Amino acid sequence: MSQSAPPHQQTQSFGARLRRAMDTRGPLCVGIDPHASLLTDWGLNDDVAGLERFTLTVVEALADRVAVLKPQSAFFERFGSRGIAVLERAVEDGRAAGALVLMDAKRGDIGSTMGAYAATYLTPGSPLFSDAVTLSPYLGFGSLRPALDAARDGGSGVFVLALTSNPEGAEVQRSTADDGRSLAQVMLDHMREENAGAQPLGSVGAVVGATLGESGADLDINGPLLAPGIGAQGAAPEDLPRVFGRQTGNVLPSVSRGVLRHGPGAAGLREAAARFAEASRAAVAGAGGTATR
């Protein structure tokens, strides 16, 4: 049974739909990242035909069983309009099969430009309308307002970069604001304000790398915490309680190559995703289950 309503019929908030999907399907997000090297590993050409075969295989294998699919827009954009057509198909097919689709686009801009990004990914009826999109807040959290408003109006969600897994991020994210908070904490506090009063989970999530070890931040935002870095980047589901503490129950672990390298057969993809989902479920249970405020 589908976990997401058709684009014009969102009857629940994204946070509520995500909570349900994580509880029923397991807390796992699988990225769709068609690296040229992965296409080669699958025996495919690095062209639009290879992109389409790779993408649709992943969607067909996993969309009826994982909580979230996360296509990385850049790997489709590099093929121009034909690549975007494949991305549109992936979004449509993934949602139709019951997965929530998180568009990994990391958009960040101001004014009418951010409004245009919001119209692209968060406005029902758009060809790329998704359940959620990743955003960069480092032009100021207020610059995200058009996307935050569009997500609320369309029943969608956003995941805002906070503490990312790349080492270079620290020079910005861990810099200190005038009041002594880290810049990442300032962003997390804004997210908490956006999610105030939401039940069972807010629709504004944070991106916090699973490879960070102790985050040193207050991650209680009453919203989901997308945790990239599981698998090929070196983190494992059992690391989650150390990074996220009492908020582990709101964590959505994200794995890409750790699952995708088990293709091109659907069975291999499904088995790998099932292993990560079960390990993530066990990590959540070991940390005390669903987080509460």
State pTM to two decimals: 0.93
Give tens-digit pLDDT for 165-186: 888 988 999 899 999 999 999 9
User: Alpha-carbon distance 213 to 209, whole Å?
Assistant: 9
Tokens read off for 275: 């292993």
Spell out the domain ranges in the chain. Answer: 14-286
Q: What is the pLDDT of residues 223-271, one digit of tens each?
A: 999 999 887 777 889 999 999 999 999 999 999 999 999 999 999 999 9
Based on its alpha-carbon atoms, the radius of gyration of the chain, rounded to whole angstroms, reads: 18
Residues annotated catalytic, as ranges:
106
- Tokens 């996360």 label which residue? 70
Question: Does residue 6 carry a pLDDT above 80?
Answer: no
pLDDT in tens, 215-231: 789 999 999 999 998 87
8 Å CB contact between 257 and 38: yes
In this prediction, residue 209 has a pLDDT band, given cuts at 50, 70 and 90, of very high
DSSP per-residue string spanning the chain: --SS--TT---S-HHHHHHHHHHHH-S-EEEE---HHHHHHTT--SSHHHHHHHHHHHHHHHTTTSSEEEEBTHHHHTTHHHHHHHHHHHHHHHHHTT-EEEEEEEE---HHHHHHHHHHHHSTTSTT--SEEEE--TT-GGGGHHHHHHHHHHT-EEEEEEE-SSGGGHHHHTSB-TTS-BHHHHHHHHHHHHTTT-SS--SEEEEE-TTSSS--S----SS-EEEEEESTTSB-GGGHHHHHGGGGGGEEEEESHHHHTT-SSHHHHHHHHHHHHHHHHHHHHHTTSS---
8 Å CB contact between 220 and 293: yes
Residue 289 banded pLDDT, cuts 50, 70, 90: low
Looking at the structure, give the CATH architecture of the domain made up of residues 14-286: Alpha-Beta Barrel (3.20)
* Backbone angles phi and psi of 71, in degrees to 5: -70, 135
pLDDT (tens digit per residue) in 83-129: 999 999 999 999 999 999 999 999 999 999 999 999 999 999 999 99
pLDDT for res 292: 39
What per-residue confidence (pLDDT) applies to 9? 47
